[in-house]
Structure 1
């Protein structure tokens, strides 16, 4: 809400939305707080909505949030376009005292508040133009009436008044200071001391306040300060002792947080900010970037470890590549299954992708291992491939059907936590079902191509080099192990 309004106006403006919210399906209770939090911003109101259990309502939380934006927030924004700023967010599982539990939290930090206002306003206007963005807002709320006290330092020195005493006196008389507690039975109340409203709410009252002097005892503030009326931000946030402004936004269902963040970074570069200003992510946006980095690292390491284990099992450097080439085939089918079922790509679907890799790899291992076994028995490559695929078709179908049947309850679940379970189940069931036929056809083709490569002169030289390297590593490891065992036995 505009910073010039007081708590009574905020209360009147939030009463009607709170009443309408109770009429939404599945809403059981609403709680309105005004001026809550450490800063006690009186023009900031929060409406908390409690929903009935998911089994008792026909709509999910995301649908109710969309209705709240369109039916309630949209209505009041049209009625009071320059007075209200709204956002609809899920309540955080663990409240950490941040500004909002928003999908996007983009921070601009720097020394000068005027330039921060300029940069943040420009980026906020561009942020609102991104199609997948809703609830775009800023922590900087300007226009709050304020009284600025300018101290005449030379005059204060002549009167024997310290600058810190002026600041401490104003803080005590205007903001108030806790001096004691009052106990009433089992209840405890803070006792705060400050000036009465008629003195602290106007410039004349501030001028009449007294401050301690080392020379004269008590001196009126009008002898050493100038009080000016103006407007300013309702609060100034800081990080690492620098002022900062946070841009917040949510993404529409199906929207990509990563794409919005990439757009914001492009907009920030286009602003050509001074070198003393920087941008960074916070909250869920920051965690998303860290999670994506760690997840990509996990995928890379999984490929490395799978190759090492398969190379040891098959005693070949070429056959593991044949098996691992089947894994990328599962990715597009998994993504298609998510799109068809209106699921998003998130950390849970990423875990499902790792599970899908394991299942697809297992099928390829069955085919190639049996093919190699038949060739060792004297069969030609073509005949061995045909026979191995015929023999392994039944166990592959059996394990696939068993996996799909086991994951189906996750895709059809509707209780608490069903959203996370459904992402994993849909990706595994859809990806495995769709890529099964392609895998059965692709593995023999890859096997033939790489078997021809293994017989070439180039690969023979590469294989000899690799065998020599791994042989030396193996011998040194054996020597080190023998030495360690000898030391242990002598102990």
Structure 2
């Protein structure tokens, strides 16, 4: 009976139409992002120890907490930054498979265990544990030219009226305005007046706690009440204070004469900010900056539009003169890179169509395999939605490569149909039926083999496993759909669209100059192809007749492959021009924020004059690299102009970055560097080296800092690195206050009161809270600024003795300047120093890491210095063995599928032996273009394995059938090569030309496209041009060995066993 789908073409068409409709329905609901959620869950812990030094925070806060963290499920590493402003920022990282909510609960539980060991002031200030959103979407700027609306006002306006509105938008993970300029009731005290009145900070704190409190009084007439009670009336008392004037009327003490001492007698109250150490700027002007983070799986472009729409609505209620703008935006890169891939996708489709047309020489025949492309590609979107994928660079790369793959099955069918029509002179429907009987098994084998290569990748773990999964499963879905199309729609279209070509007819039947030109071209092409086929058969025959020579050549190819595996440098993700970069600016230790801001203004002036730069965002007072607040540091984010506007060499990313670094190098008393941000936002702080040197035996932070500096110097001298930068600094001038404890106790003075006086005067003392604008804010005490300008001011502070006498602090202490760290970082429980850097030009990240490891192990391990990676460097090292595992897994799965298909343990080797040629070509191309064997190259190798096996299957499958019909092994191999050469070349060159745009593309994301395109282009080129000569040899050798009885009898299953034919030697 004739094939069902040939008899029912409408039914065949309906299957494909349903696939397309499902895909179109799904594509509108898929998230759009540059990468899927790949960053490890990060739980951030923040604790504040007011007035403490960096060493105090590290010893009293960080160490007790970190001791409880090890052993949690899925923990990768943790690191903390402990700064001299009393703040500990601890980041805990988990495996990407860990649920972030459960990870946060685990961290919270461990902190609860450490809480009894923490200072009470730390517990009272609160320990914040939260999931940190890492997917930056945009940073909004709120600014005004009106001096009434300063940064403090704008910051609080954003926190009150904007942050929560944005957090409620669908797809927004978080939105929180930078800095701690939240309103605070600042009680600025005059230590001189307090001493004259015999008052201390403790007196003020006690008075505020007593008189600024919520005092519920109950209700009159509440139950149980006497019978006949008619009313229940709430009783209201004065509660928390609201205005500064209310706080100034607080009674601190009553005098014996009946007069009162109010807070206004010893200071003033004013509505200020909680902390002034951090300031935001946008394009050179003070600004409130609000970062908006993307929720995992959300559509970046859609969420940005939601943010813009909501901000436009909120702006209608802004005070006059207040405006908002987008200061930093990651979506242009998402849009541009995806548009470039989509453009490449259409270019690939045109080139594939051209190749198919040249080989098939008929628009009717060309239409049939080309129809498979939209059906398979569009249908893949449905599979992506079912599997929870998004439209991102990885899935789109999969679709680009799939274009050259999905036409293969249809080409195999139509080429066989046309051959049968020409040779047997039968109608298209009969030819289609016969062709399907011949190639159906081969089609199923190809689909199974390709799926067996791609699908197992989904079970790999880690970030690289997720990257492989998104790419490979997308192709696998497309391949399955193309197989369905080839088995259903393609034979039906062949029966309907193809027309018998009379003997001697030209390829293009129409008349006219264009038709004649096509006929001449096709005539020459066909004659040339017949000549190539004959020469191929002659060469293949000679290869078969000289097995020792060519197996030796095969061994040489494998040896070259092993050499390339060892010599091609490794990498992780190629560095891209994302349209923005980061900068760190550091002044000498202890430089004030005002001084730092002056330098930042100078840098902003330089940047905004550069033709390639669009906007500059600055955060003064933040060391982004160390995740610590430092008044002498600033982080800057620079937005470049669109890629189409940066066409000259001076406007290219590397040139701009180099120019900025050159300018920073010339600044006096300033060190800084510009750096590319990680390719996956949230995967570390820079796109280069992140090495944490650890004190594992030095036991002295000054000596450890010296060794760190030596390490950076040695690393900078290595040819693999540049710009190596250690972050540890231990020469920060610090004023050490030595308390004479014996004298303090002899005078009956409380040590806690002495230290509280120091804290409240030189830092701030958190007393309690007040309410305003529907929010809760802090009440804080501090000394007036004129009493904390110089070291001598410490002596002007007073504490009270047991006889009510006021004792100057200078009588109880002595001061001296010492050098110490302004920030102490810890990594996995050890004091550490983060070392950042970048690969030298022409060197890969893998070479950089290898050089750093050699240096650390050979020269510093014996001196008590250990090392550990974080960020992108950690992930690169963690993924080191994944590429080889993926490749080996693909080969094993191909072998098992073919063994099951052929019921043979030997025939699969005839297919697999052709794979090394593709791998050799891929790595040779990568080496030739000076690229690294990164994740994208390894992803491409998976494709090469599948397609090289597919080419071999076409020959081996047909040769097996011919052998079963009684042909000799040599004759079967050569005849299979003759009959399958045209579809092999057609499908291979369709794929090769289809990926050519990846090699030559430019613009956003070009480095990734070059990486994946280079591997698959050269891999398939070599696998096709060399493999077609060796596959017949492999088939003859393996089949001959099998039939000679070197393999266990019965291994060939039901395949008939003709008389063995010997393989001639040289």
Q: What TM-score results when the alignment is normalised by the length of structure 1?
A: 0.81
Q: State whether structure 2 residue 613 is matched by structure 1 residue 27.
A: yes
Does the aligned pair in 1 maintain the 2:969–2:1039 contact within 8 Å?
Answer: no
**Structure 1 residue ranges without an equivalent (≥5):** 468-491
Say if 2:671 is the partner of 1:85.
yes
Counterpart secondary structure, 1:58: coil
Do 1:124 and 1:247's aligned partners in 2 also have CA atoms closer than 8 Å? yes
Structure 1 position 363, deviation (Å): 0.7
Query: Do the aligned partners of 2:904 and 2:1051 also contact (CA within 8 Å) in 1?
Result: no
- Rg: which structure is higher? 2
CA deviation after TM superposition for structure 1 residue 280, in Å: 0.5
**CA 222–427 in structure 1, closer or farther in 2 if over 3 Å, else same:** same
1:363 to 937, 947, 951: 951
Question: Aligned-pair distance for 1:151?
Answer: 3.9
**How far, CA to CA, are the matches of 1:61 and 1:312 in structure 2?**
59
Residue 103 of structure 1: aligned partner: 688
Q: CA deviation at 1:379?
A: 1.7
Pick from 623, 630, 641: which aligns with 1:41? 630
What SS does the aligned partner of 2:834 have?
Answer: strand
* Closer/same/farther in 2, CA of residues 50 and 209 from structure 1, 3 Å limit: same
> In structure 2, what is the equivalent of residue 284 of structure 1?
872
Task: For 2:1009 and 2:965, locate their aligned partners in 1 and report how far apart those are by CA, in whole Å.
Answer: 46
Deviation at 1:369, TM superposition (A): 1.8
Residue 318 (structure 1) aligns with: 906
Distance 1:39 1:391 in 2: 69
Contact 1:254 1:344 in 2 (8 A): no
Secondary structure at 1:310's aligned position in 2? helix
Equivalent in the alignment of 2:722: 134
Conserved in 2, the CA contact under 8 Å of 1:2 and 1:141? no
Distance 1:429 1:196 in 2: 71
Distance 2:987 2:836 in 1: 47
CA deviation string 1:381-435 (max 9, x = no partner): 2222211111111111111122234333444444544443343233222321233
Q: Is 1:74 aligned to 2:662, yes or no?
A: yes
* 1:424 equivalenced with 2:1009 (yes/no): no
- Note closer, same or farther for the CA distance 1:94–1:287 as it changes in structure 2 (3 Å cut): closer
C-alpha distance in 1 between matches for 2:936 and 2:818: 51
Equivalent residue number for residue 924 of structure 2: 336
Partner secondary structure for residue 1026 of structure 2 = helix
- Cα RMSD (Å) of the superposition? 3.6
Q: Relative contact order, CA 8 A, sep 6+: which one is greater?
A: 2
2:642 pairs, out of 22, 39, 53, with: 53
Is 2:893 the counterpart of 1:305?
yes
Aligned residue for 2:783, secondary structure, equals: coil
The separation in 2 between residues aligned to 1:275 and 1:357, in whole angstroms, is 47
Quote the Cα distance in structure 2 between the aligned partners of 1:322 and 1:166: 86
Q: 1:143 aligns with which of 720, 726, 731?
A: 731
Q: Deviations over 1:224-275 (max 9, x none)?
A: 4432202222211123443110110122454211211111111111234468
The equivalent residue for 1:17 is: 603
Q: Which of 824, 846, 865 does residue 236 from structure 1 map onto? A: 824
Conserved in 2, the CA contact under 8 Å of 1:4 and 1:143? no
- Distance in 2, Cα, partners of 1:179 & 1:96: 36
**CA shift in 2, pair 1:145/1:327, >3 Å:** same
| Partner-residue secondary structure (3-state), 1:67 | helix
* Structure 1 residues 190 and 12: CA distance shift in structure 2, 3 A: same
Aligned mate of 2:653, from 55, 59, 64: 64
How far apart are the structure 1 equivalents of 2:651 and 2:869?
24
Helix, strand or coil for the counterpart of 1:264? helix
1:17 touches 1:72 (CA, 8 Å); kept in 2? no
Q: d(CA) in 2 for partners of 1:385 and 1:164?
A: 93
**2:848 matches 1:260:** yes
Q: Give 3-state SS (helix, strand or coil) of 1:271's partner.
A: helix
Distance 1:180 1:94 in 2: 42
Counterpart CA distance in 1 for 2:1028 and 2:992 is: 17
Question: Which residue of 1 is the match for residue 968 of structure 2?
Answer: 380
Distance 1:376 1:162 in 2: 101
User: Counterpart of 2:952 in 1: which secondary structure?
Assistant: helix
Equivalent residues, number: 460
CA distance, structure 2, for counterparts of residue 284 and residue 196 of structure 1? 46
User: What are the Cα deviations for residues 206-228 of structure 1, in whole angstroms up to 9, with x where unaligned?
Assistant: 34434677897976444544322
Q: Does 1:5 align with 2:594?
A: no
Distance of 1:325 and 1:215 partners within structure 2: 97
Partner of 1:116: 704
Q: 1:348–1:423: 8 Å Cα contact kept in structure 2? A: yes
